[in-house]
Amino acid sequence: LIIPIIVTLCSFATLHASPDLTIVGFIKPEDGLGKLPMVIIQTMGDGISSNIRLTDALPLSEMPPLVQAALDNPDKKSGKVALVTEPLWHHGRTPVKVPRESVVKLAYSMFETTRIPKTWVKILNDQFDAVVVPDEFLVNVYEECGVKIPIFVLPIPLVLSPYLERPAHSRIPSTPFIFGDASANKNPYALVKGFALAFGNNPAVQLVMRACFL
């Protein structure tokens, strides 16, 4: 869904110099927000020109070709559409810089609670034309917190081809049966406690957790 909306917005800004899209954010392939610039560009393909303004150091891992092309784009001007995927503000960090020259300014925003910070509300209303959220639940959250600009629901794009190309798992359960956690410090205490209550110290069942150290 994000493809036709961005392409349509770019078409309304034909007098603006290229590129079509500037994404502002950080890239971290194994992180939810950090993956957004990558999956958005991969989902859109090469139908539009884009560049990326990094807000943090780029990881050393290899980038997909389309993402690398956006990073290497010699045209560093602000795109017709600016899409900010970086958190709008949090303690200890200056607010994200929105490309002023872009004709349309969008924020891809989300928060795992029923209230968003008042600072976010002011930034959205003052600096953006619209905000994109990944789930219908967040529309009411943002509206009730005072967001006045239009709110669109666009699920996070998924690049599934690498997974669909892998052979299917055997229908016979492995021994031990392994549960994997990829949430990276999303309340690990509650997860371990719940797993222990469900399975105890059963050697036939294991929990493998992914840790993230800050």
Q: Is the pTM of this model over 0.85?
A: no
Overall average pLDDT of the 17-26 stretch: 88
pLDDT over 70, % of the chain: 87
Task: Give the model's pLDDT for residue 80.
Answer: 94
The encoded tokens of residue 201 equal 């110290």
Distance CA 22, CA 197 (A): 48
Please state, rounded to an integer, the average pLDDT across all residues of the chain: 86
Helices (H), ranges, 12-150: 32-44, 65-72, 118-127, 137-144
Structural contact between residues 54 and 73, judged by C-beta atoms closer than 8 angstroms:
no
For 185-214, the pLDDT digits (tens) are 678 889 999 999 999 999 999 999 876 655
Q: Could you write out the DSSP letters of every residue in 99-129?
A: -TT-SEEEEE---SSS---HHHHHHHHHH-S
Distance CA 34, CA 25 (A): 8
Helices (H), ranges, 145-187: 161-164
Overall average pLDDT of the 18-38 stretch: 89
pLDDT over 90, % of the chain: 55
Please say if the pLDDT value at position 57 is more than 70: yes
Distance CA 188, CA 197 (A): 14
Helix, strand, coil fractions of the chain, as percent rounded to 5: 30, 20, 50
Q: Are strands 104-108 and 177-181 parallel, antiparallel or unpaired?
A: unpaired
Please say if the pLDDT value at position 2 is more than 80: no
Please say if the pLDDT value at position 94 is more than 80: no
Distance CA 207, CA 179 (A): 5
